[in-house]
Structure 1
Amino acid sequence: MKQLMNAVILTGYGGLEKLVYTQVSLPTLQPGEVLIKVGACSVNNTDINTRTGWYGADEGFQEILKNTKQNDDKKSTSWSQSGLEFPRIQGADIVGKVVELGDNVNPEILNKRVIVDPWIRKERLEKYQYVGSEVNGGFAEYVAIPASNVYPINSLLSDVELATVPCSYSTAENLLTKGRVNAKDIVLIMGASGGVGSSAVQLAKIRGATVIAIVGPNKEHLAEELGADYVYCRDDRLLSNLARHQVTVGVDVVGGEYFNIIFKTLGVGGRYVTAGAIASPMVSFDLRDLIYKDIEAIGATRFQPDVFQRLLKYIEQSLLKPRVAKVFPLSQIKEAQIFFQSKSFFGKIVIVPGEAAIANS
């Protein structure tokens, strides 16, 4: 008799029709893995980017993300610029309870509440795998994860709140780590009203930096609540507002037309660090800004375990303020992604599986 669970499977590159809520077999544990009963798992840009094949597109980026244009299947890829194996269960932000152990796993983790580091590290950077992309993720009632990526968590935060952490906060902490942000820095955060950006505001303040948050209309007060020292809206006054500051680090998850604004704002010896391009990955800029101001341009995708481990300490010290915008049941994954793409909210969109009943077939 096969054990089944509810899950959302991605059946291929394309629109929302590629997401299918169904029943699939319960994961079979490999040596070194644990089975987690998922409590919550949030939605991220990478879920949309992967589904639509955005990572390999060379035009029509926003139309592809909005499901108004089909990407060329030959150009559809994952973040690693390689194709995916379908069907795939997405979802990187996993919080839950360990209910079963594979061989060679420390038994102390059984029945523990845990949070998952989404990067599965291999011997070479190009071999790294991301949960919900190269391996199945948390848009399901249960998920199998290497025990080395699973951490018991001691926190008063709910599963829903904790599910805001793995992708957004670790991406933000990696940006700040690679940007070498410290208390002497003035940090410009472009896209500070999104999941990664709002996380970066909090984490930069923990490091003692001065934070300039750039947000969408009517979201200024939310960035202020997170501790930003200066908050500006993305409008035609942005460049003149930023001219008042001596920015040392530019943190960018937006790209597009705002890329040039960051470079123009950075001072001599500044650092530009990016982990996303939701406005557009295609930019043009004046190389003289890079050359004659001795600016460093840094990409930040993969990170080492110490980045995630710092977040665990911040959580247990109650230093983080997770923001949950809305919670959807797993069966409403399509509605959750539509709402996510509206960008009309502040915080994270979280998916919960509900009562995880395993059926027999």
Structure 2
Amino acid sequence: MSAMVTTGVGDFDRLVLSSVPKPTAGPGEVLVQVLAAGVNNTDINTRLGWYSAAVSTATNDSSAEIEDLDADRSDGGWNGATPFPLIQGADCCGRVIAVGEGVDQTIVGARVLIRPCMPLNPGDSSATEWLGSDRDGAFAQFTVVRSRDVFPVQSTWSDAELATIPCAYGTAENMVSRAGITAGTRVLVPGASGGVGSAVVQLAKRRGAYVIGIASSAKRERVIEIGADEVLERGQDPVAQIGTGSIDVVIDNVGGNGFGSMLALLRHGGTYVTSGAIAGPIVQLDLRTLYLGDLRLMGCTAWDEHVFADVVSYVERGEIRPLLERTYPLSEIAAAQRDFLEKRHVGNVVLLPPTPGP
């Protein structure tokens, strides 16, 4: 089969379009034909080794500290060293074409979304592996996963639209759920036009929250369209715009220099939630702000068991919408990832693998 293989830590030259053996489904597994694969920060971060403690830059910074990383660093990936060579791709919309021993045959032919955050033990989120980072993923014509990680989906959306959902919306729903957002909660979303940010806007709004996004002026109307009640202009001081103590929950995948302002915006007893740091992982924290404000800081990576099934149900009931900016052939992954990193879009870009021959 045709696959985009990441050969190690590095730049786009580490992405090599290759002919590799087609995988087969073992016991408890399914073979999925990949119909469309979304592009995500995590795919790029894994290739760059950005998860290493040696890196302190933003995710789109090609500085020397990333370029000089050893390919075999033990902390470069989600769960330690990334197992290169690797087929990346955390987002998959596909079709089940074969099953292994012990799997119900009736799932063959179903269009599915693959849960990218995969619990190693059913119902236990304390140990997970990630599609495309810990095991081969969706940047190929076929992929194999455990049957419990495929979720049939009934929807009129296109394959490419469905491929925008798994990683971004699962990550967003996990944060929204853990933060306990309900009707009337005042939620601030930095990076509201990005893949996760735009998902947070929709998912918080479907729970009845009052949502304030932060985005560039060029993207303001699009963020309003997907459900934000207000949009603050990126680059301006949010404290000056809406005042201290005005927010119940901040859901922030941006980080960087704006971290202190996010805490200042929280009411007494408020909650700050994060699962990313695209503007940089190293932040300045005044512990007095934390303890005097009785604030709660929450990191979210592993998904609670109900999260992905909930997201699929929202798709099927039309309670969220896909934000597909553009599609690319799998062979043009470098152009797709450059487009993604430029952040000129709202939502996501998607790769389409070649159709398998007879």
TM-score per shorter chain, which class? over 0.9
Query: Is it true that 1:12 corresponds to 2:8 in the alignment?
Result: yes
Matched, 1:97 2:95: yes
Gaps of 5+ in 2: none
Whole-Å separation in 2 of the counterparts to 1:201 and 1:114: 24
Comparing 339-348 with 115-124, greater Cα deviation is found at: 115-124
- For residues 300-329 of structure 1, give each alpha carbon's deviation from its aligned partner in whole angstroms, at most 9, with x where no partner exists: 010123111111111111111111111010
Q: How far, CA to CA, are the matches of 1:113 and 1:139 in structure 2?
A: 17
Greater Cα shift, 124-133 or 161-170: 124-133
Q: Which amino acid aligns with 2:308?
A: F
Aligned amino acid, residue 101 of structure 1: V
Q: Distance in 2 between matches of 1:89 and 1:75?
A: 18
Structure 2 SS opposite 1:335: helix
2:286 is matched with: 286
Q: Distance in 1 between matches of 2:134 and 2:31?
A: 18
- Following superposition of structure 1 onto structure 2, how do residues 274-313 of structure 1 map, counting pairs within 5 Å? 274-313=274-313
* Superposed counterparts of 1:37-52, under 5 Å: 37-52=33-48
- Report Cα offsets for 1:250-300 as digits up to 9, x if no partner: 100000011111100000010110010000000012111110110100000
For 1:113, the aligned partner's letter is R
Q: Look up the match of 1:35.
A: 31
- Provide the residue aligned with 1:72 in structure 2: 69
Offset at residue 152 of structure 1 (A): 1.0
Are the counterparts in 2 of residues 57 and 75 from structure 1 also a CA contact under 8 Å?
Answer: no
Task: State the TM-score, normalized to the length of structure 2.
Answer: 0.95
| Residues 293 and 75 of structure 1: CA distance in aligned 2, closer, same or farther (over 3 Å) | same
Match of residue 173 from structure 1: 173
Deviation at residue 181 of structure 1 after TM alignment = 0.7
Structure 1: which amino acid aligns with 2:160?
V
* Contact 1:57-1:72 within 8 A present in 2 as well: no
List runs of 5+ in structure 1 lacking aligned partners.
none
Q: TM-score normalized by structure 1?
A: 0.94
Aligned-pair CA distance for 1:239: 2.3
Q: Is the 8 A contact 1:191 1:213 kept in 2?
A: yes
Secondary structure, counterpart of 2:318 in structure 1: coil
Report matched runs for 1:92-241 at 5 Å. Answer: 92-123=90-121, 125=125, 127-241=127-241
Q: Give the 3 Å change call, closer, same or farther, for CA 78–182 of structure 1 in structure 2.
A: farther
Query: Contact 2:188–2:211 (CA<8 Å) still a contact in 1?
Result: yes
Identity across the alignment (%) = 39
- Residue aligned with 1:55, SS: coil
C-alpha distance after superposition, 1:82-112 (max 9, x if no partner): 0011110011111111111111101110011
SS at structure 2 position matched to 1:264: helix
CA 1:319–1:71: 2 relative to 1, 3 Å: farther
Cα offset, 1:178, TM superposition? 1.2
Distance, in Å, in 1 between the alignment partners of 2:166 and 2:56 is 30
Q: How does 1:311-330 map onto structure 2 within 5 Å?
A: 311-330=311-330
* 1:205 partner SS: helix
